[in-house]
């Protein structure tokens, strides 16, 4: 089992719809979770992080964390063609004083159709 798993997609949604991206992780002790967006040919860009169970909203983005089920998701409301990118889920397996070693999933490719 991979440490961080995502559906590779591609996930295709129409413009204005809600895009739902999911991620599961294997280490129950993980404490911090991140979503990065990567446009083709560009570097990953941090868009959300979440530490506590529940929802965290930032504009059109909502991150959801369920530690008991070991999954984290990202919802994108009112999807726009400019949201078309690969979304990488990352999990910090060694939080606190051991620093920020992130393990990334393979990424989910999102395509928003006009």
Partner 1 sequence: DAGVIQSPRHEVTEMGQEVTLRCKPISGHDYLFWYRQTMMRGLELLIYFNNNVPIDDSGMPEDRFSAKMPNASFSTLKIQPSEPRDSAVYFCASGERGGGDTQYFGPGTRLTVL
Binding site for partner 1 (CB under 8 A): 32, 34, 42-46, 49, 88, 92, 95-107
Beta bridge partners of 19: 76
- Please say whether the dihedral angle defined by the alpha carbons of residues 9, 10, 13 and 18, taken in this order, is positive or negative: positive
User: Which residue, 18 or 46, is less far from partner 1 as judged by CB?
Assistant: 46
**Minimum distance of partner 1 from residue 4's CB (angstroms):** 10
Strand partners, 35: 48, 89
Minimum Å distance from CB 48 to partner 1? 11
Least distance (Å) between residue 106 CB and partner 1: 5
User: In the complex, what is the shortest distance from the CB of residue 28 to partner 1, in angstroms, rounded to a whole number?
Assistant: 18
> Can you say whether the dihedral through the CA atoms of 61, 52, 7, 2 is positive or negative?
positive
Of 77 and 101, nearer to partner 1 (C-beta) is: 101
Nearer CB in complex with partner 1: 37/79: 37
Query: 102 burial class (0-12, 13-18, 19+ CB within 10 angstroms)?
Result: middle
DSSP 41: T
């Amino acid at each position: 089992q991979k440490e961080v798993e995502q559906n590779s997609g591609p996930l295709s949604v129409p413009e204005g719809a809600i895009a739902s991206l999911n991620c599961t992780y294997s280490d129950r002790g993980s404490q911090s979770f991140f979503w990065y967006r990567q446009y083709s040919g560009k570097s990953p860009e941090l868009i959300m992080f979440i530490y506590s169970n529940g929802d965290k909203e930032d504009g059109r983005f909502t991150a959801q964390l369920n530690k008991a089920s070991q999954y984290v998701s990202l919802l994108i409301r009112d999807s726009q063609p400019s949201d078309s990118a690969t979304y990488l889920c990352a999990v910090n397996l060694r939080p606190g004083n051991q620093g920020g070693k992130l393990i990334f999933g393979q990424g989910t490719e999102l395509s928003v159709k006009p």
